Amino acid sequence: MDRSHTSLKVEGREVPLRLYRPAATGLLPGVLYFHGGGFTSGSLDEAEVPAAALAESIPALVVAVGYALAPANPFPAAVEDAHAAARWLAERAGPLGVAGHDAGGHVAVSLTLLARDRGGPEIAAQALLGPMLDPSLTRVRDGDAGMAECARCYRAYLPEAALRLHPYAAPLESRRLGRLPPILIATAQDDMLRPEAESYAARLIDAGVPTEVTRFAGVSHAGLPCHAPALTAVSDFFRRRLSGARPHHQSHR
């Protein structure tokens, strides 16, 4: 496994990227991975285990993205960083997938919406691990441990109330979920975010998006990105979905 680092300039910010390239030869599919941390914390180090595992087992060129964090850089800074990273990777890899945990799952979802609306780059598949998807927190049971922390994170990321209805910020409220890439949503049985993730899956199915949902018992929300069965499910999903997809840079030929 070859690890290397580079960075991108996005709107005056430096966005660090950590690349994981397995020993496989030829043009590899590409996967962007977005770490968790509730939009306000987290780092490339937290992506180490899942990014390395996915790179080896798919195999793929996996790029962990050190997207901008709130409150210093609120929405849509993280999404713009993700889009820049997707354009960068699309020029260097085959079919493109995106994955993320927690807030990173939200960033991945927002990226698929933005890429669709901007006409690229083409994203062939997406995988979410315990994603944060609902700024209104209406699907969280009152009294759930962690609800106050989630609310704090969303206030930092979406400081203006009107932003919490933006389709890229509140995908569960979006009326435009068609033409999105096939998705795998992996949840933890006792995660307070599981209901919103499964609600999103239902919305995508209604919109005609190929959708798979898998729920894991005996693992916490925080443990999902390092949970071997969950990573195996994500790897298998990407192996199926990226093997037959066309690379973005060949899609118009």
Nearest to 195 by CA among 154, 237, 155, 136: 136
Q: What is the chain's mean pLDDT, rounded?
A: 93
227 pLDDT above the threshold of 70: yes
pLDDT band at 25 (very low <50, low <70, confident <90, very high): confident
Q: Do 2 and 21 meet the contact criterion of CB atoms below 8 Å apart?
A: yes
Q: What is the mean pLDDT of residues 150-167?
A: 94
* Three-state secondary structure call for residue 58: coil
Distance CA 151, CA 134 (A): 10
pLDDT on residue 15: 98
Higher pLDDT, 253 or 237: 237
Predicted pLDDT of residue 246 = 54
Residue 220 has pLDDT above 80, yes or no: yes
CA separation for the pair 103, 119 (Å, rounded): 24
Percent of all residues in the chain with a pLDDT value above 90, rounded to a whole number: 88
Give the angle 214-218-223 at the CA atoms, nearest 5°.
Answer: 80
User: What average pLDDT score do residues 103-121 get?
Assistant: 98
Q: Tell me: pLDDT of 47 over 70.
A: yes
Does the pLDDT value for residue 85 go beyond 90?
yes
Q: What is the pLDDT of residue 146?
A: 84
pLDDT tens sequence across 119-140: 999 999 999 999 999 999 988 7
